[in-house]
Amino acid sequence: MSVHASCVELMGKGLLICGKSGTGKSDLCLRLIDLGARLVADDQTQIENVGGKLIASCPEPLRGLLEIRGIGIVHMPFIPQTEIHLKLDLRTEEKIDRMPMPETEVISGLEIPVFRLNAFEASAALKVKTYVQILNGQKKVIR
pLDDT digits (tens, 9 = 90+) for 80-96: 999 999 999 999 877 88
Instruction: Say what percent of the chain tops pLDDT 70.
Output: 100
Q: If we measure between CA atoms, which residue out of 119, 121, 117, 3 comes closest to residue 59?
A: 3
> Bridge partners of 112?
105
The predicted pLDDT at position 92 comes to 83
Q: Active-site residue among 4, 20, 69, 139? A: 4
Q: Active-site residue among 34, 95, 97, 98? A: 98
Q: Which one-letter amino acid corresponds to residue 2?
A: S
Query: Is-catalytic flag, 4?
Result: yes
pTM exceeds 0.75: yes
Query: Is-catalytic flag, 25?
Result: yes
Q: If we measure between CA atoms, which residue out of 64, 77, 85 comes closest to residue 17?
A: 85
Q: Active-site residue among 31, 43, 87, 129? A: 43
State the chain's maximal CA–CA distance in angstroms.
Answer: 44
How does pLDDT run across 34-71, given as a tens digit for each residue? 999 999 999 999 999 999 999 999 999 999 999 999 99
